[in-house]
Amino acid sequence: KRLPQAIIIGVKKGGTRALLEFLRVHPDVRAVGAEPHFFDRNYERGLAWYRELMPKTLEGQITMEKTPSYFVTKEAPARISSMSKGTKLIVVVRDPVTRAISDYTQTLSKKPDIPTFESLTFKNRTTGLIDTSWSAIQIGIYAKHLENWLLYFPIGQILFVSGERLISDPAGELGRVQDFLGLKRIITDKHFYFNKTKGFPCLKKAEGSSKPHCLGKTKGRTHPDIDQEVVQRLRDFYRPFNMKFYQMTGQDFGWD
């Protein structure tokens, strides 16, 4: 059992579960199924505890884990860096507005009596002031969170995966991820088929199984209808942060 050489650090509702499931098809990737939440919630348990959670690997295999909340956790970059400065980091990002709605939808499915998306979005609806303390909004300010990571890791050690392209061209995005991890490009388009009901790609064969595999019921939930004016306000709010994020990463994700 080895400490992970690569970690999917974010973002929540960006497509991290899909990416991990797709990656596990690769014979040289071994990953923890559940989210360990070590660098945010369980840090005091120590590295030995963390290592114990990891799968056994052979020489040349990569150990991985994913915990999307790391990306927004203040202490996570320093903690990961002190484990190993060479850790490769992967961030799956998607349009912050759809991400926020997806985040809300997930909470709604667990707590049906929460206030509306619209009322949570604004500090004050009349002035149109966005409530940035609401985590669903906060998480999508990617540029701000990234600044914290860049204090500890060079940008070249972080791969940014497009959540949208992970759906429209899974093999293409997986190609980039495999290159970044130094793996042979084994996962290709022949591994995927598009599931029309779910609206996203599924694996023809999952890891350790001969059966096709789609992500579970909790993925691909139908989003509630959100007032278009609110969506527009959010687009305007995120635009400068998105532009800054494009500059920082050298990638245009096409969210506007």
Residue 79 marked ligand-binding: no
pLDDT band at 78 (very low <50, low <70, confident <90, very high): very high
pLDDT digits (tens, 9 = 90+) for 152-202: 999 999 999 999 999 999 999 999 999 999 999 999 989 998 887 777 899
pLDDT digit string, tens, across residues 98-112: 999 999 999 999 999
Question: Which backbone phi and psi does 90 adopt, to 5 degrees?
Answer: -125, 130
Higher per-residue confidence, 209 vs 29: 29
Give me the residue spans of the domains in the chain. 6-249
pLDDT > 80? residue 115 = yes
Q: What does DSSP say about strands 29-31 and 88-93: parallel, antiparallel, or unpaired? A: unpaired
Does the annotation list 2 as a binding residue? no
Q: How far apart are CA 181 and CA 22, in angstroms?
A: 14
Mean pLDDT to the nearest integer, 6-13: 98
Q: How far apart are the first and last CA of the chain?
A: 43
Which pLDDT score, from 0 to 100, does residue 256 have? 82
Res 109: pLDDT: 94
Q: Is 13 annotated as a binding residue?
A: yes
79 exposure class (CB count in 10 Å sphere: 0-12, 13-18, 19+): middle
What's the pLDDT at 200? 81
Q: At what angle do helices 228-249 and 142-150 cross, to 10 degrees?
A: 20
What pLDDT band is residue 209 in, cutting at 50, 70 and 90?
A: confident
Q: Among all chains, which residue has been given the structure tokens 């929460």?
A: 114
- Across the range 201-216, mean pLDDT stands at 78
Quickly name the fold that domain 6-249 has: Rossmann fold (3.40.50)
Residue 99 labeled ligand binder:
no
- For 128-137, the pLDDT digits (tens) are 899 999 999 9
Across the chain, what does the average pLDDT equal? 94
Residue 159 and residue 157: Cα distance in Å, rounded?
Answer: 7
CB atoms within 10 A of CB 205: 12
| Residue 149 vs residues 90, 129, 155: alpha-carbon distances, Å | 12, 28, 9
Read off the tokens for 147.
Answer: 């600044």
Give residue 206's pLDDT. 67
Contact 115, 175 (CB under 8 A): no
Q: Distance (Å, rounded) from C-alpha 128 to C-alpha 174?
A: 39
- What secondary structure letter does DSSP report for 111? -
- Going by C-alpha positions, the residue among 219, 215, 195 that lies closest to residue 206 is 215
The confidence band for 19, taking pLDDT boundaries of 50, 70 and 90, is very high
Which of the residues are catalytic? 13
